[in-house]
Amino acid sequence: MLVERLADGDVRRLLLEAAARNGDVARTIRLAAATPADRLATLRSELDSLRTRRHLDYRGSMAWADDALIVVDEIATAAETAPSRELLKLVELAVGRVVKVIMYADDSSGAIGDVARRLLEIHEQLGDAGVADPKALAKWMIRFSFDDQDFFNPDPVRYAAALGDSGLAVVRREVDERMLAPDPDFAVRYVQERLAILDGDVDRVVELLGGDLDRPYDFIRVAEAMLELDRPDDALAWARRGIDSVAGWQVAQLYDIAAGVIADRGDDVGVFDLRREQHQRMPSSTTYAKLKAAAESPGTWQDERSAARSVLGARDVGGLVDALLADGDVDAAWDAATAADTEVIGDQRWARLAEEREASDPAASLNVYLRLIDSTLEQADRRNYRAAAKQLKRAQKAAAAADLADEFDEHLAALREQHRRRPTLIAILDKAGLQ
């Protein structure tokens, strides 16, 4: 509304002033003002301005990514409105430069990597638009995947239409040649595997993905490939085979694959039986929740709940407490926790238990809060001091509800005396009104 009150000349003047102060605004204006005829040249110029060989620290990486995304958004718009072979080449140039920046950056946030992935999505989109030369596209994929970097792996299955028979032939020849090396790179093996899926060659898929079939991961890869090939029965068979023959936390993924196939068949009882088997084999709050969800459809949860809790409690008391809290059974969760070793339950669970229990038993919650405060203050740290102050406020509230305000005041006074040589803590307590 305010902008509408301004004359056009004033708007232009303010934009120019903003552009002079802020490079992002200037970049946005240049890109928006570019005519269709000079858009590619403008985009290329903006890409050139983002080049850097200096090391980017964590914050510098995120700032660089923010700047780059302004250009990438304009590239995305161009891909939607005016796809062309020239734009495809520009995207290839752009993603190559982003990869070079990653090599000089602390990209632990993943921000620059996200820029590269966004550009690769646009590249796929342009391939689907039919603007690529198949053989040139194949050569770019080979160079980018095998030679230029090892961060990203373009999928030949997703590019199959754009590559066509001629482009795929180029990729296949290159993969076959590179597989002759004593230890082929992961990227080469990945493309080989994806080509087998593209061909629908089940035996070859099993050969390449199955490995030695001595790890859950081997079976997961084969089962997922079968799903991709629209062979759910085979996916279920491979998931079941893995469940029966290997161990480890990744077996949970095999159960998920199997449950998904069975659910798609509409077999609710089959899903329930599978989830019960999983819970009995590897009980956790997660398997408990999945069993509960599966049991609700057949209507068997009331009969199953007690046994499910017993199985979980025997293996993982902390997980049982989590499950009971998720069920809203606070009393049972409290009883399970108090019957177990305090350290097994952990401070975070005790804090949640105290909060949930406070309304019905503030005195019991008060005792938990006071113990947690002592634990928090074992380490002299400003962050811990702030956490202790929050805990003390909760304890003060619980004490008032339990008619134990005097006892709390005595405890607070003793705590302040005990930590009188921690001026930062005392100052934080004073600020919180804990005097």
What does the alpha-carbon distance between residue 142 and residue 258 come to, in Å, rounded to a whole number?
A: 36
Q: Which long-range contacts (CB under 8 A, 24 or more apart) does 381-388 make?
A: 382/424, 382/428, 385/422, 385/424, 385/425, 385/428, 386/428, 388/425
d(CA 175, CA 152): 17
Question: Is 272 inside a domain boundary?
Answer: no
Domain count, the chain: 1
Beta carbons of 332 and 357 less than 8 angstroms apart: no
Q: Which residue has the higher pLDDT, 27 or 175?
A: 175
Q: Which of 45-49, 69-73, 137-141, 413-417 has the least mean pLDDT?
A: 45-49
**Alpha-helical segments (H) within 50-159:** 58-81, 85-102, 111-128, 134-142
Q: Is residue 30 part of a domain?
A: no
Mean pLDDT of 258-268: 97
In a domain, 361, yes or no: yes
Mean pLDDT computed over 228-249: 96
Boundaries of domain holding 414: 346-435
DSSP 8-class letter at 148: I
306 confidence band (pLDDT: 50, 70, 90): very high
CB-based burial of residue 177 (10 Å sphere; 0-12 exposed, 13-18 middle, 19+ buried)? Answer: exposed
For 293, the enclosing helix (H) or strand (E) is: helix 285-296
Q: Could you tell me the two tokens for 359?
A: 């309304």
User: What are the distances in angstroms from CA 211 to CA 218, 232, 243?
Assistant: 6, 21, 16
Local structure of residue 153 (DSSP, 8 states): -
Exposed/middle/buried for residue 355 (C-beta within 10 Å: 0-12, 13-18, 19+) = middle
Residue 404 domain flag: yes
d(CA 118, CA 3): 33
User: pLDDT value at position 359?
Assistant: 94
Q: Is residue 397 part of a domain?
A: yes
pLDDT value at position 296? 86
pLDDT surpassing 90 at residue 23: no
3-state percent breakdown (helix, strand, coil) of the chain, nearest 5 = 75, 0, 25
Yes or no: say if 53 and 104 are a contact pair by the CB < 8 Å rule: yes
Among 50-54, 274-278, 352-356, 397-401, the range scoring the smallest mean pLDDT is 50-54
Contacts (Cβ under 8 Å, ≥6 apart) of 134: 162, 163, 164, 166, 167
User: Alpha-carbon distance 19 to 24, whole Å?
Assistant: 8
User: Stretch 93-102: mean pLDDT, rounded?
Assistant: 94
One-character DSSP codes across 3-59 = GGGS-HHHHHHHHHHHHHH-HHHHHHHHHHH--GGGHHHHHHHHHHHT---S-B-HH
Tokens representing residue 399 in the block: 């004490």
Structure tokens at 255: 């159960």
More confident residue, 17 or 133: 133
Taking only the tens place, the pLDDT of each residue in 379-411 is 889 999 999 999 999 999 999 999 999 999 999
Mean pLDDT (the chain) is: 91
pLDDT on residue 210:
86
Taking each helix axis from N to C terminus, what angle separates 362-376 and 347-357, rounded to the nearest 10 degrees? 150
Q: With bands split at pLDDT 50, 70 and 90, how would you rate the model's confidence at 36? A: low
Q: What counts of helices (H) and strands (E) characterise the chain?
A: 24, 0
pLDDT in tens, 147-157: 999 899 999 99
In a domain, 417, yes or no: yes
Q: Is there a domain that residue 392 lies in? A: yes
Please enumerate in sequence order all residues whose Cβ is within 8 A of that of 289, keeping only pairs 6 or more positions apart, or say none: 323, 326
Report residue 298's pLDDT band, with 50, 70 and 90 as the boundaries.
Answer: confident
Alpha carbon separation from 134 to 80, 171, 201 (Å, rounded): 20, 10, 23
| Residue at 383 is within a domain | yes
